């Protein structure tokens, strides 16, 4: 059974009404969705390059995630491979601070 791409206004995990934030959380909560966005933040990558950077994620999962992120307007296929759209770049700008925060968090945990 095909999984539907989370769309605002339709039922998604955690929301029967499909509130936009819940649709976004459903999409980003899927395996490797955030990883794909993070890896594409440095520029376009071919499928194989993206798979390697995503720690050898299975081709099936990666293909599914790319399709969902593309249908959601966050990723597109360009001349040099897959890349973030303007909307994807805007989303990454909001996510980027989590990178440094996670480094600080990990350091703090290792010091306790």
Within a domain: 105: yes
Full residue range of the structural domain in which residue 92 is found: 31-111
CA distance 7 to 72: 8
Q: Considering the domain boundaries, does residue 98 fall inside one?
A: yes
Q: What is the CATH classification number for the domain harbouring 106?
A: 1.10.10.10
Domain for residue 40, yes or no?
yes
The reported pLDDT for the residue numbered 111 is 87
Please tell me the total count of domains within the chain. Answer: 1
Tell me: the pLDDT tens digits for 24-67?
999 999 999 999 999 999 999 999 999 999 998 999 999 999 99
User: Does 95 fall in a domain?
Assistant: yes
């Amino acid at each position: 059974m095909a999984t539907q791409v989370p769309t605002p206004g339709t039922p998604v995990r955690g929301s029967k009404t499909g509130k936009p934030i819940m649709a976004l959380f459903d999409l980003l909560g899927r395996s490797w969705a955030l990883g794909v966005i993070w890896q594409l933040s440095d520029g376009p990558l071919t499928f194989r390059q993206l798979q390697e950077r995503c720690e050898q994620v299975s081709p099936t999962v990666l293909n599914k995630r790319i399709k969902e992120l593309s249908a959601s307007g966050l990723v597109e296929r360009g001349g040099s491979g897959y890349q973030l759209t303007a909307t994807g770049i805007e989303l990454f700008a909001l996510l980027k601070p989590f990178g440094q925060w996670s480094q600080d968090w990990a350091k703090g945990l290792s010091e306790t």
